Structure 1
């Protein structure tokens, strides 16, 4: 099976939105290769540090939110729980 790394990167960026705070920091508990690719694409700061979180750029935070909404929101926007 051939893996589409861009799709993986989009999913991880979307999931970073779950722990994103108002300072644009999110927990970095994902695969290091994915985080490095997101850094190379300009969506996050350098993930190589002792910090348990990573900083999202303005573009990264906006894309993270948009991807989260695209992948995980209900079609009509209503909560059915």
Structure 2
């Protein structure tokens, strides 16, 4: 089955919002290929390492909040 990697990356970035802590860190319990693509797109810093979380870039922080609201936000206000 084929799939759109950009849509996967968008969902992973949106879901990183759920585990944000310390301002710009999120738990990295997502697909490694998706995290690598997000790194190449400038949304997160290099995910390789022993840390259990990734650091989002300023652009990544803004985008993850936007995508979370777009896909999971309530229309009830």
What residue is the counterpart of 1:47 in the other structure?
47
Structure 2: runs of 5 or more not aligned: none
* 1: CA distance, partners of 2:49 / 2:22: 20
What residue is the counterpart of 2:13 in the other structure?
13
What residue is the counterpart of 1:74 in the other structure?
74
* 2: CA distance, partners of 1:32 / 1:22: 22
TM-score by length of 1: 0.90
TM-score by length of 2: 0.95
Number of equivalences: 77
Runs ≥4 residues deviating over 6 A: none
> Alpha-carbon deviation of 1:21?
1.9
> Alpha-carbon deviation of 1:75?
1.8
* Greater gyration radius: 1
Structure 1: runs of 5 or more not aligned: none
- Cα displacement string for residues 41-79 of structure 1 (whole angstroms, at most 9, x for unaligned residues): 0000000000000000000000000000000011232xx
RMSD: 0.9
What residue is the counterpart of 1:33 in the other structure?
33
